[in-house]
A = this chain, B = another copy of it.
Amino acid sequence: MRIVVLAGGIGGARFLRGLKKAVPDAEITVIGNTGDDIHLFGLRVCPDLDTVMYTLGGGINEEQGWGRTDETFHLKEELAAYGVGPDWFGLGDRDFATHVVRTQMLGAGYPLSAVTEALCDRWQPGVRLIPMTDDRVETHVAVTLPPDGTDGTGVTEGTEGPGGRSAAGGEQRAVHFQEYWVRLRASVPAHAVVPVGADRAKPAPGVLEAIAEADTVLFPPSNPVVSIGTILAVPGIREAIADAGVPVVGLSPIVGGSPVRGMADKVLAAVGVESTAAAVAEHYGSGLLDGWLVDTVDAAAVERVTAAGIRCRAVPLMMTDVDATARMAGEALALADEVRA
């Protein structure tokens, strides 16, 4: 069985751990989001790829869901002592090494897909992990900062991108997704989410081939806008999935009207999608999605999703542990079989 999974960070990584447990013999190809990659301190940081790699490779900090286990932050402390920022991004000493190795290999001319494969040689995640593209894509978020010049973080310095004044007096800015997500904690109004560079990006080698050879395509309960949405924004990927002729099944990241984890509701609002399990399914659309799992608390959504032409079931969707997650993955594969039959 060949399964292709589009994955963001924590949600995608944890789902994949369950999927591996549910179908240990499956060949799993993970197409990873790189839209939240960021250049920090001269290094290329790929938070989502690393979260998948560390989670499946046994190196993840289980409590926080990202970063390395047994981590220290001495390097970061010292950068702060030098007054060199940003200080809001959590780069641990162990994690830093991954970015150093990646940056060196990129500098030597290897594409990100080859670098990711090399990093996975160490971590042995048990899946084939491919970045969505070897080209540079950076998700930016259009926000309005409060008119008093602060942004609720105690930091008043300028953020990146050209800015302007809105009618309400707040300052409009385009900020890197990580700045919006980590520094501002999605606490300011977001008006648009733009995967800058995606329109000119090409799928990384192996991405389209994996989709073409897949028996099933799964969308884990990852962020539908900035994770899966960004992957789908790379020309060719959405079309390849829609045209693959195999079941495409997703799991709702929204349970009972709010995200299970993270702040997906904020970016859904920015793209005009309500934070409900049904609305996210409709956002993907029946042209892409064949099946959709909603949580049992959202059972009432089944009718609306079905009406939209997407086969839908309500099952427990809380990834409380690996076994519960494996059952979710099993339900997704069962729904795929149902679509296939």
Contacts and interface: CB of A to CB of B under 8 A. Distances in A.
Interface stretch (A14-22, A79-87, A205-213, A245-253): A79-87
Contacts of A72: 72, 74, 93
B79 A100 contact: yes
Nearest to A68: B78
A41 B97 CA distance: 10
Contacts of A103: 42
A84 B96 CA distance: 13
Interface string A71-112: 110111111011110000000111011101101100100000
A96 B76 CA distance: 10
A94 B75 contact: yes
A104 B100 CA distance: 13
Given A83-B122, A122-B83, A78 B97 contact: yes
A119 interface: yes
B75 A107 contact: no
Contacts of A71: 74
Given A83-B122, A122-B82, A74 B101 contact: no
Interface in A34-86: 41-42, 70-72, 74-79, 81-84
A39 to B, nearest CB: 11
A77 B83 CA distance: 26
A108 to B, nearest CB: 10
Interface residues of A, number: 28
B78 A98 contact: yes
A95 to B, nearest CB: 8
Nearest to A41: B100
B82 A96 contact: no
Nearest to A96: B75
A182 to B, nearest CB: 19
Contacts of A75: 75, 93-94, 96-97, 100
Given A79-B101, A122-B82, A122-B83, A107 B74 contact: no
Contacts of A41: 100, 104
Contacts of A79: 97, 100-101
A279 B113 CA distance: 58
Given A83-B122, A122-B83, A78 B94 contact: yes
Nearest to A76: B97
A93 B81 contact: no
A104 B76 CA distance: 15
Contacts of A93: 72, 74-75, 78, 93, 96
Contacts of A122: 81-83
Nearest to A119: B82
Given A72-B74, A74-B72, A93-B74, A84 B104 contact: yes
27 contacts: A41-B100, A41-B104, A42-B42, A42-B100, A70-B74, A72-B74, A72-B93, A74-B74, A74-B92, A74-B93, A74-B94, A74-B97, A75-B94, A75-B97, A75-B100, A76-B97, A77-B94, A78-B93, A81-B97, A82-B97, A82-B101, A82-B119, A84-B100, A84-B101, A93-B93, A93-B96, A96-B96
Given A74-B74, A74-B94, 6 more contacts: A42-B107, A75-B100, A79-B100, A81-B122, A82-B97, A82-B122
